[in-house]
Amino acid sequence: MEGSSDGNGVPSSNSFDKSRVLDVKPLRSLVPMLPDMPQGQSFICAPPFGPFPSGFSPFFPFSVQQGSQCAPETATPIRSSSTAVPHSAKKRVKRNRNVHSSPGFASGKGSTKDFKLGFSFAERDDGNKEVVENVRMRFDALRRRFSQLEDAKESSSGIIRRADLKAGNVLMSKGVRTNMKKRIGSVPGIEFGEIFFFRIELCVVGLHAQTMGGIDYVNVRGDLEQETLAVSIVSSGGYDDEAEEANVLIYSGQGGFKDKEAPDQKLERGNLALETSLHRGNEVRVIRGMKDAVSPKTKVYVYDGLYKTESSWMEKGKSGGSIFKYKLLRLPGQPDVFALWKSIEKWKEGLSLRPGLILPDLTSGAESMPVSLVNEIDDEKGPAYFTYFPTLKYSKSFKLLQPFFGCNCHTACGPGSTNCSCVQKNGGDFPYTANAVLVSRKSLIHECGLSCPCFPNCKNRVSQTGLKVRLEVFKTRDRGWGLQSWDPIRAGTFICEYAGEVIDKSNTRQDGEDGDNNDHVFDTSHTYQSFRWNFEPELMEEESPPAPIEEYDISSPLIISAKNIGNVARFMNHSCSPNVFWQPVIYEHNNESFLHIAFFAMRHIPPMTELTYDYGIARTDGESSSAPSGRKKCLCGSPKCRGYF
């Protein structure tokens, strides 16, 4: 293991050694080490990882880094609300005040616990990126928690049927929402292409205020009288809209949605608003409801951008009555959103349609799903040589652990498996929701292992059952190779584990830097930026146990080298504002426990967005030089960039 690897995944200087870059062939011959099982069943000559004695301290400080400095936000209230303030503004203000004193909750016992709103009251009317992010994170954390309770059916006061609505209701009644003031055009803090998984999620950030309605509108003072203008529409397949061309949308008016014999639609409400918008020529936000490729029975809502209504007409609907039709044209100069989604659909049908494709599957079948290799930037033909291997390789030099006892479940373990001993190790709550989304970060997650008889339908094996999203390794503009996804990813989704060779630190040189850089090395002993991801128990109505502690809790440092052997994780770049985080997971293999590093989505990630995590900062060991010799200049570009990592 000599030699510097290239700068993959590392915004290092341009110490890129082209001579080591291999062309296509070696990569193609990256044969998985395991003949059959992608999971590497019993073949890994895998002496165990060291024991995990208790009695150690958390290995990084929990500094609170709450956003005191507002990101310089260039909010673009395209046509600011001077005209668009609803006449009901007074009502709103009043409602705000009510919310402020939260009368509905003050009476409930144990619910008067204070929680931090986290932003100003003004920011509830007009948001910005930071507040939007804050609200979205808190919404989904709460939603996941309610979902967990729903799955387990352990909610003591009435069952939760709709975790999304429940979470939305709690946040709205507490005033944890933003962009309440309706506006025409862009919404501050929400970018084109952002994705949402529930309609109520659009409401809490102010992108579309109707919980179900497809047309949102606002009252404005017109030339002579009040008129209503459409501000946003959701095109979701409920009616037969036409969405063939990427920049044209034929949208059906509202009325008679579910009726078998629909009467004629009337020119009122949303229909009237769209009609007025046609004459006034105002911008209308368009949100497209798409089928989720990862779980096809759910929907993804994509903020496609601003449109203008070009024309309208009436036609006979299928169920008898006549319906309104509106033709909307996408404004030029906006990033392609819907068009990109359409392209990805085509790439999936024929991989060769992907521009810049070098390899259809750089894993050579080692993963459950292909991972394409793409370069649209220059003529480099691929990353430096390495051997693709989908999981960890433990070297021989580790001591044996004490014997491991798996569960004895003979049905698939899942959210209701309170008797499963593996589940019990997680502290009572099943760590994942029914659709395999991680509920909370934890010091350690216990999954079922090889000798547990519950295989293969067990739901407690999320991080060991292969890739779930369609990934792609691509050439970035200035940071070597990177990782991104063709599929939209919802927060809490498992992305991949960090595969590679486990390094025995006692064997490793103490000197650290003998020309060896830390490219393609994962090290739990780095100092990581802390962040809050879990739900806030104080937002739950009834007394709720505290959220799991989000500090990692690893007895001895785990160092994984992916220089020579690794998987897709080795291509993930660093960011100081990452969208992915790592989570220790432990499960059994040949009667011994092994620690793994699993990556989960921190937030919803739109397709073709680079996946990044915090590499952390190597600890400078006391006496050694104070210069940050092992550190690299960071090119993540985030406003919160620390400058190096």
Partner DNA sequence: GACGTTTCAACGGT
Partner DNA sequence: CACCGTTGAAACGT
**Residue ranges that bind DNA, judged by CB under 7 A:** 86, 88, 94, 161-166, 168-169, 172-173, 180, 182, 197-200, 203, 209-215, 218-219, 228, 233-239, 241, 251-252, 254-257, 269-270, 289, 296-299, 434
- The strand pair at 248-252 and 322-330 is best described as antiparallel
237 Ramachandran zone, left/alpha/beta (phi>0; psi -120 to 50): left
3-state SS, one letter per residue, for 427-467: CCCCCECCCCEECCCCCCEECCCCCCCCCCCCCCCHHHCCC
Edge to edge, the sheet with strand 500-503 lists: 392-393, 500-503, 559-561, 521-523
For residues 455 and 41, is the Cβ–Cβ distance under 8 A?
Answer: no
State the minimum distance, in angstroms, from the CB of residue 415 to DNA.
Answer: 10
Q: Which is nearer to DNA, 486 or 498 (CB)?
A: 486
18 class by beta-carbon count within 10 Å (0-12 exposed, 13-18 middle, 19+ buried): exposed
State the minimum distance, in angstroms, from the CB of residue 88 to DNA.
Answer: 6
- Identify the three-state secondary structure at position 343: helix
Q: Which residues contact 119 (CB under 8 A, 6 or more apart)?
A: 130, 131, 134, 178
Q: Which residues contact 29 (CB under 8 A, 6 or more apart)?
A: 364
Q: Which is nearer to DNA, 302 or 306 (CB)?
A: 302
For residues 575 and 616, is the Cβ–Cβ distance under 8 A?
Answer: no
Q: Which is nearer to DNA, 230 or 502 (CB)?
A: 230
* R_g (Cα) of the chain, nearest Å: 26
Q: Which is nearer to DNA, 160 or 359 (CB)?
A: 160
State the minimum distance, in angstroms, from the CB of residue 561 to DNA.
Answer: 39
State the minimum distance, in angstroms, from the CB of residue 112 to DNA.
Answer: 20
DSSP state of 402: P
Q: Which is nearer to DNA, 199 or 461 (CB)?
A: 199
State the minimum distance, in angstroms, from the CB of residue 133 to DNA.
Answer: 20
- The secondary structure of 231-295 as a DSSP string is EEEEE-SSS--B--STTEEEEE-SS-SS-SSB----S-HHHHHHHHHHHHT-EEEEEEEEE-SSS
Report d(CA 513, CA 527) in Å as an integer. Answer: 18
Q: Which is nearer to DNA, 25 or 161 (CB)?
A: 161
For residues 401 and 43, is the Cβ–Cβ distance under 8 A?
Answer: no
Q: Which tokens sit at 259?
A: 């009726």
State the minimum distance, in angstroms, from the CB of residue 467 to DNA.
Answer: 18
State the minimum distance, in angstroms, from the CB of residue 329 to DNA.
Answer: 16
Q: Which is nearer to DNA, 210 or 530 (CB)?
A: 210
- The whole-angstrom distance between residue 400's C-alpha and the CA centroid of its chain comes to 37
Q: Which is nearer to DNA, 179 or 579 (CB)?
A: 179
State the minimum distance, in angstroms, from the CB of residue 617 to DNA.
Answer: 38
Q: Which is nearer to DNA, 10 or 163 (CB)?
A: 163
For residues 292 and 469, is the Cβ–Cβ distance under 8 A?
Answer: no
State the minimum distance, in angstroms, from the CB of residue 269 to DNA.
Answer: 6
Q: Which is nearer to DNA, 77 or 213 (CB)?
A: 213
Phi, psi of 580 (to 5 degrees): -135, 145
State the minimum distance, in angstroms, from the CB of residue 306 to DNA.
Answer: 17
**Among 153, 200, 5, 186, residue whose Cα is nearest residue 78:** 186
State the minimum distance, in angstroms, from the CB of residue 477 to DNA.
Answer: 35
Q: Which is nearer to DNA, 227 or 614 (CB)?
A: 227
